[in-house]
Copies of this chain bind each other. A is one copy, B any other.
């Protein structure tokens, strides 16, 4: 049986507190399902490392983690000490670009025990995926400023969509939709207002849809789509969007299910040419770091996504099942969800139920 090598990067703040629980659960699931995993620990991509070395990562970071089967990542950033554009663009965004992790994948699922801000929704009602393009689009570095400090001053920044970039994310999304019972895909657009790039996106969606005749698809402009996340979250199965639209929808979706603190995410290179990164959606949370009260579920759930990505479906499903049972018990949930467990107790509970 193959042994997986996982690069473990806890990062900053509560990243360091939830990581041990993620590892605990992966070990338990591995034992149960005969999945052998080797964890290699790295201290870079953190404020601590930056303080010592003046940079977020060593020059040879790619050599150090580029051959691993996946990267299991806690959280990075500490805005009071280091600006986001240094910490994030020096680590996470670098991974996305240089490891060509062109898929950002996040589940939106109403879980037991998690209060939803939406009225009258119960677990099972909301269960879909947001697929976000993760390398181009609105997050380009092309643009600049002219006539600085005068009344004529202006800035421009280009949104860039390539045929390669758009088609591969759409392919991933249609494949995912096709693999699901509902086989339904929704595309986020804004072609009535953003008149060049968005009609191109629509055009590529139509072309790709022809290759997936079993998938029913529709599209909404992003403004009404965000409204429909709130009004009709049960309409969705797989939602695909550009870098910016996907970013928005994959925060809004978890918010609608009350799960922003426990949502997982994958930054995926589907071809496996480079390792993919799995990390909780939450950040390093300086305000609660060091108290042992952080909710480890996002980290643990990200571990399940990692197992799924590695092809270990049984291990992944058993982790998700254990998460659901843990969340269902008030005494096993952390305080942010009205429970009274601390980080470790919650992590142990999931590991026990795996």
Q: Given A248-B223, A251-B226, A252-B227 in contact, is the A192-B143 Cβ separation under 8 Å? A: no
Q: B-facing mask of A10-42, CB < 8 A → 1, else 0?
A: 000000000000000000000000000000000
A117 at the interface (CB under 8 A from B): yes
CA distance A250 to B224 in the complex (A): 10
Contacts known (A192-B84, A227-B251, A230-B230); A162 close to B158, Cβ less than 8 A: no
Q: Report A134-148 CB contacts with B as 1/0, cut-off 8 Å.
A: 000011011111000
Q: Nearest B residue to A142 by beta-carbon distance?
A: B156
Between A117, A138, A164, A195, the greatest number of chain B beta carbons within 10 A of the residue's beta carbon is seen for A117
Q: CB-defined interface of A258-289 with B at 8 Å, one 1/0 digit per residue?
A: 00100000000000000000000000000000
State the CA gap A40–B47 with chains docked (Å): 65
Q: Indicate how many identical chains form the complex.
A: 2
Give CA–CA (A194, B136) in the complex, Å.
11
Given contacts A141-B195, A157-B158, A195-B141, contact A247 B227 (CB under 8 A): no
Pick from B159, B191, B255: contact of A227, CB under 8 Å:
B255
Contact across chains for A154 and B145 when beta carbons are under 8 A apart: no
- Evaluate contact between A158 and B156: CB separation under 8 angstroms: yes
User: Contact between A195 and B139 (Cβ–Cβ < 8 Å)?
Assistant: yes
A154-184 residues with Cβ-Cβ distance < 8 A to B are 154-164
Q: How many interface residues does chain A have, given as a range?
A: 35 or more
Minimum Cβ distance to chain B for residue A5 (Å): 31
Complex contacts, A209 vs chain B, CB 8 Å: none
* Residues of B close to A193: CB separation below 8 A: 138-139, 243-244, 247
Assess A85 versus B224: contact at CB under 8 Å? Given A151-B164, A255-B230: no
A194–B157 CB distance below 8 A: yes
Contact of A160 with B156 in the complex, beta carbons under 8 Å: yes
Q: Are A197 and B118 in contact (CB under 8 A)?
A: no
Collect the chain B residues with CB atoms within 8 Å of residue A190's CB. 244, 247
Q: Quick one: which of B160, B192, B255 contacts A85, CB cutoff 8 A? A: B192
The 4 closest A-B pairs by CB, nearest first: A227-B255, A223-B251, A153-B163, A157-B196
